[in-house]
Structure 1
Amino acid sequence: MSAGHLAVKDLCWRPGKNQPFLLHPVSFEISAGRVLGVVGPNGAGKSTLLRMIYHYQKPTSGQILVDRQDLWGMASKVAARKVAAVLQEQPGAFGLSVRDIVALGRTPHRSGLSSEGAKDAQIIEAAIARMQLEALVARDFDTLSGGERQRVMVARALAQQPQVLVMDEPTNHLDIRHQLEILSLIRSLGLTIVVSLHDLNMAADVCDAILLLKDGRCQGFGSADDVLSEQLVSDTFSVTAQRQVLSVSQNQHLTFHLPT
């Protein structure tokens, strides 16, 4: 499993020919193994962008390239070997065990109705071990806690052996401990990761680059220091943002107030 270079070129989307654009042309590049945080207010176009990157929603125009290969110029099964996704909500598992769920990650690598082979089993077990799920392999997925489910879905994505991993609000509905576990995981995977986050301080802490969206338009792309400026954040979220330096760590955090 190796990380891939991700390039998005003039990507836009609208639901129909005579409908307004929900995502206006956006372009950016992320080097292999780097983490991109996608942030913005509700309705900014974050999920729309992510759906196109994980090959669920076809762009109206523009390109998504993984190592210079056009993602939407390939079959869905081939694209699934390039990009995996971990989404906010997991569907019901209908009695499937944790191992069953993780094993689904091997589907794009199989031919027809072929069964799991020795190589598949080795990759599945490695993904389970990576996410420390050995004690849960026989458990029904539907009986797990939110944090446990999220770890299983990441293990499934790892079993898929993608070059790019898309994570849509991976800390949503999780308590602080599980949020910290997911953030630590993001840093350690070594994949190219595109992650949407509501918490700007969290995004600044974990991401190598930030893409800031508002009303389907790019407001900024670059380092957190450059993009998450007081003025740009205030304008984008319609709040008054202030940057504070914590004296012990010298880390910078944004605080927010409603404008008066």
Structure 2
Amino acid sequence: MTFDETAVRALAQAPTRMDLWVDFVQQQSIRTVVEVGVYRGAFAQRMLDDCPGIERYYLVDPWRHLDDWNKPANRKDAAFERFHAETLERTAAHADRRVVLRGKTLEVVDRIPDASLDLAYVDGDHTLRGVTVDLVSLYPKIREGGFLAGDDFCRTIFQHDRTFEPTLVFPFAVYFAEAVGARIYALPHRQFLMQKVTGGEHAFVDLAGGYRARTLGDQLARRTEPATAPAPTLLSRIAGRARRPRG
């Protein structure tokens, strides 16, 4: 498949995340896809509804509570059972094209043949551990010239409050692209895209704007701390009394 960078730049005008990927799948004649992190199946439904050229669509999700996943989307098992059923219902019209792989990435990835995917779309565990596992284990499954893409490519690692693990899709995906010699694009709607090309040259192309803090040091330095008034000192109390208007 050919990769027209001008066309990728045109994708940056897409009004929504789903519109962006529908346009891309149609543009690149994508036939085999894996989506990691299906949740309730809305993205899978849209891809299958609007992209009849897709011949096989793998849906990878554990649909269960994970004790070692400290993110807001981690729900109780009962909720995930409902989400699984909802996904099956949403994609029922395409049962002949979908392949449901219920499990974490490392539990099911061997069921996908090596070098078979045109597109791997990652929207699962965005912790450092999770994005590392997903990108490293999925890359061999992508064919030469195929694509690796994903969601929640946030400009800051602090996507949620401090009670949750940071989101490390950015900058980890940039460093991963460097390791494999891939050109990686930051797209609007917090998306990223890279192509698997042997002997390629790494570059980071920011088509969305604002991806400046690529090191963890920069990210931590830019972290906005909650405003906390310092404890008053004796000198500040004296100065405060001196500024009060006399009655």
- TM-score with structure 1 length normalisation? 0.38
Report which of the two has the higher share of strand: 1
- TM-score with structure 2 length normalisation? 0.39
Structure with higher Rg: it is 2
